[in-house]
Amino acid sequence: MTDFFKDIPTITFEGPETTNEFAFRHYDPNEMIMGKPLKDHLRFSAAYWHSFAWPGGDPFGGQTFERPWFGDTMALAKHKADVAFDMFQRLGLPFFCFHDADVRPEGEGFAENTRNLEEMVDYFAEKIAETGVKLLWGTANLFSHRRYMAGAATNPNPEVFAFSAATIKTCMDATIKLGGENYVLWGGREGYETLLNTDLGRERQQAGRMLQMVVDYKHKTGFKGAILIEPKPQEPTKHQYDYDVATVYGFLKEFGLEGEVQVNIEQGHAILAGHSFEHELAMARELGIFGSIDMNRNDYQSGWDTDQFPNNVPEVALAYYEVLRAGGFTTGGTNFDAKLRRQSIDPEDLILAHIGGMDTCAAGFKAAAALFESGALEEQRTARYSGWESELGQILMASNLAEIEALTRENAINPEPRSGRQERLENIVNRFV
């Protein structure tokens, strides 16, 4: 344990009636739900970048956080790791996630970056052995440094492509060495700002080739985890090539990777794409590419990705309902890609934010599980489409337009509208949440 959280106890479950701020009200990790412990359903993870690397700035102001590990030395990077694993243990978080730039100082170039990362990976390995906290996924930060201002894989400069590919390899190596269960690619600047200087076809080919290299390296190394793409529609670039789940799937099909790559879906990104979180989860399930989630929420009155901790149980319940319909997590989990508000500067704010997020997810998941086990929604869904299981439905799917015209004439088909029963369904949901 470190001094940063010295006055904060280990967080335990005390139940819904507790008034203790530093306790879980809904998250009992060992509570059995649908045949397994709640902790194994949710697979919580903390985001290293927001919790320990983010300085508290926004588009209109700079750093508000003053952390004792901020700085560009290896000693400070290791102190940051000490504090991070302290938090993971106090909260009982089983996983964490990181970008390379979150955990190591920026070097003079690729070689120094790699040396710094490898030293931190060795340090993480010791921490993992001591605590039992595991790596949910690793990734490369290919968007923050000025070299990436025109993208990484899609950059018009082939030297940036080379630097990016080499960095991805080192980050995959780090993930594999630490026993990570997934590797994520988030193309933070893989898009364009203006079409006046952009070759869309060339940039798509570069992005596709990079992803093929990643998949090839996965098989070469024997990595058993999933390769995940995280869709995001905008911010910072005007239009990004990984806009939403459906767009990513089209990209995967184009490059023959639909059986190799899944998606890591973030609530905030779904909202920026004009969707709901549950829509993106359902689409990933239907396309067979559901992998993992980044849990957060957006401020619906702001025009950017605010990455707030989740606090809306009904929204979370609908999301986890779709996760359950997808069969639950395998290698994926619930990563809190969420950050404190820039005014929340105290150590306890970081702990309390995670307590609230974990409790919100637990309450939402339990509501989703009860709804799922009741079968109430699925009964209504099955009934709505039951006509397609009839002889007529089977004939229509096997016919052509001329045959269907003749059938419609011969049988005088003249359908009347049927109620979609939306309010009834919403009432069913509200019985559980």
Catalytically active residues are 99, 102
Cβ burial of 39 (10 Å; 0-12, 13-18, 19+) is: middle
Cβ burial of 397 (10 Å; 0-12, 13-18, 19+) is: exposed
Tell me whether the omega of the peptide bond preceding residue 233 falls within 30 degrees of 0, making it cis.
no
Around 157, how many Cα atoms within 13 Å sit in the side-chain half-sphere?
A: 10
| Token pair recorded at residue 223 | 């990595």
Question: C-alpha distances in angstroms, 114 versus 117, 119, 120, 237?
Answer: 5, 9, 10, 28
How far does the chain reach from its first CA to its final CA, in angstroms?
37
Q: How far apart are CA 359 and CA 292, in angstroms?
A: 19
Q: How far apart are CA 312 and CA 179, in angstroms?
A: 33
